[in-house]
Amino acid sequence: MDIFSLNGKVALVTGGSYGIGFAIASALAEAGARVVFNDLNQVLVDNGLAAYSKADIKVNGYVCDVTDEAAVQAMVTQIEEEVGVIDILVNNAGMIKRIPMTEMSAEDFRKVVDVDLNAPFIMAKTVIPSMVKKGGGKIINICSMMSELGRETVSAYAAAKGGLKMLTKNIASEFGHLNIQCNGLGPGYIETPQTAPLREPGHPFNNFILAKTPANRWGRTDDLKGPAVFLASPASDFVNGHILYVDGGILAYIGKQP
């Protein structure tokens, strides 16, 4: 099972201080990687450092706005100097604004696209040159159910995540011959603090998700650990441009008959 080992690898998880990013970073560390993460401000980074310390995981944390190309370049340079060349990039940082399309300002639309699509582009273009020099690397873009499906009030998020799916495929196409694999990981509806109010028994949205999910439950952050390690490891060296949906079967299911 050495093909799943990440020993000696450096992994950067953006927005990795909590939630899905924290779970993925923890899994990569458990598989042997040296993990670094960033977040938007020092409070989030400090909270993340405390959480990793509690889990007995050694990490480095950096404050960086991933939509700022100069800041990203400075962070990557600092990571290379302090930890090493990044072998694994997980583009996890993201945001969503739930606003009906006709009520959403163009500024808000651009902001969501900037964080969810432009930032992964900036991160990838910054780490790829060192990956090429080192002989290869792994990029994992955190996609979404909205990379495939539409839904009310998430026009910007769906547009960005759909674009991220195609950016994933294009990075694979452009750099696959240089031993860089770029794949997407698409979580279904996951239990996080943000979704806690929606998961209350009897809540209409909770009932809706359970009815649409063949697994008949919400996903857990632990459900993403194995798929993330697979996409980060030599086990996936011939997997490129693929989006691995960890969704309990939602995309395979038309739904129950009324």
Catalytic residues: 157
Full strand arrangement of the beta sheet holding 137-142: 59-63, 34-39, 10-14, 88-91, 137-142, 180-187, 243-246
**Tokens 């302090």 sit at which residue?**
82
Check if the beta carbon of residue 144 is closer than 8 Å to that of residue 98: no
Check if the beta carbon of residue 64 is closer than 8 Å to that of residue 36: no
Q: Which helix (H) or strand (E) holds 15?
A: none
Provide the b/e sequence for 155-187 (b: ≥16 CB within 10 Å).
bbbbbbbbbbbebbbebbeebeeeebbbbbbbb
> Vertex 5, ends 38 and 186: CA angle to 5°?
55
Q: Which two tokens stand for residue 122?
A: 């900036």
